[in-house]
């Protein structure tokens, strides 16, 4: 199995929606460097195929990562692309469920990092997750969440952003970029991933979609959960990197 190709195709599919994705990752890792130095211990939360951990190791070769997800296809790609890399440990757990932290190693983290994942969660489980994360991040450590955080009070600006995104996606399609549904359809056609794909589809069928919240909501919930500060490290019109300091 060519796990590298699957990893790369996932990145291209994500960039279809997020043309600033690499800049977002760069700022996230700048925060990690400032908070933890060159050897951070990181929790890659809702890790998907390991996009954050891949960039983490490229920048910090001596970093360590615990990568957690529930999706079998994502974890198969991640495990395959990090085969024999002792710097990363994979954990299968649903971060939306109470008690998920019991599956983790019994230690604190310098940073918990996540991207384009928590908007899939409902409000109550996400609020509970933030409380869990405050227990996992060491004092002085950080939690960084890069995700869709639209502001309902700026409808005209949001409409402009929609136009910008549509133009970007039209250009990307010309070069052969796949959208989310097309990427998953490609997975479904690969017999080597049949079992994992079936498991992923079962998870999708059990979820009716999450709740998106504006930046201020995330910052308030994180401080209520026990973080000392929370604010914006990077943002576009409807996407942001919120960082909370423990």
- Greatest alpha-carbon pair distance for the chain in Å reads 49
CA–CA dist 68, 63 (Å, integer): 16
pLDDT, tens only, 124-150: 999 999 999 999 999 999 999 999 999
pLDDT of res. 207: 74
pLDDT of res. 213: 96
CA–CA dist 197, 201 (Å, integer): 6
| Averaged confidence pLDDT in the chain | 96
pLDDT, tens only, 14-51: 999 999 999 999 999 999 999 999 999 999 999 999 99
Q: What share of the chain is helix, strand, coil (3-state, %, to 5)?
A: 50, 20, 30
For residue 105, what pLDDT band results from cuts at 50, 70 and 90? very high
pLDDT of res. 205: 80
CA–CA dist 214, 186 (Å, integer): 33
Strand partners, 69: 92
How many helices and strands (H and E) does the chain possess? 9, 7
In degrees and rounded to multiples of 5, residue 177 shows phi and psi of -65, 145
pLDDT of res. 21: 96
Cα–Cα distances in Å, from 152 out to 95, 137, 139? 27, 31, 33
Specify the pTM: 0.95
How confident is the model over 78-105, as a mean pLDDT?
96
pLDDT beyond 90 at 86: yes
In degrees and rounded to multiples of 5, residue 238 shows phi and psi of -120, 15
pLDDT of res. 41: 98
């Amino acid at each position: 199995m060519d796990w590298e190709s699957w990893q790369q195709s996932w990145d291209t599919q994500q960039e279809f929606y997020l043309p600033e994705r690499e800049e977002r990752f760069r700022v996230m890792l700048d925060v990690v460097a400032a908070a933890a130095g060159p050897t951070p211990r990181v929790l890659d939360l809702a890790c998907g195929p390991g996009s954050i951990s891949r960039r983490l190791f490229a920048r910090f070769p001596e970093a360590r990562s615990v990568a957690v997800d529930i999706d079998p296809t994502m974890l198969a790609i991640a495990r395959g692309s990090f085969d024999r890399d002792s710097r990363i440990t994979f954990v299968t757990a649903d971060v939306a469920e109470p008690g998920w932290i019991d599956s983790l190693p019994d230690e604190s983290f310098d940073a918990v990092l996540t991207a384009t994942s928590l908007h899939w969660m409902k409000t109550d489980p996400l609020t509970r997750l933030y409380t869990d994360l405050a227990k996992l991040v060491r004092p002085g450590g950080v939690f960084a969440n890069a995700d869709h955080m639209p502001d309902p009070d700026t409808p005209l600006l949001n409409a402009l952003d929609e136009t910008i995104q549509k133009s970007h996606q039209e250009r990307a399609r010309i070069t052969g970029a796949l959208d989310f549904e097309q990427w998953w359809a490609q997975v479904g056609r690969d017999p080597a991933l049949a079992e994992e794909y079936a498991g992923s589809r079962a998870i999708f069928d059990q979820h009716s979609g999450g709740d998106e919240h504006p930046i201020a909501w995330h910052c308030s919930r994180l401080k209520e959960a026990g973080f000392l500060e929370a604010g914006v490290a990077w943002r576009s019109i409807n996407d942001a990197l919120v960082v909370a300091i423990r």
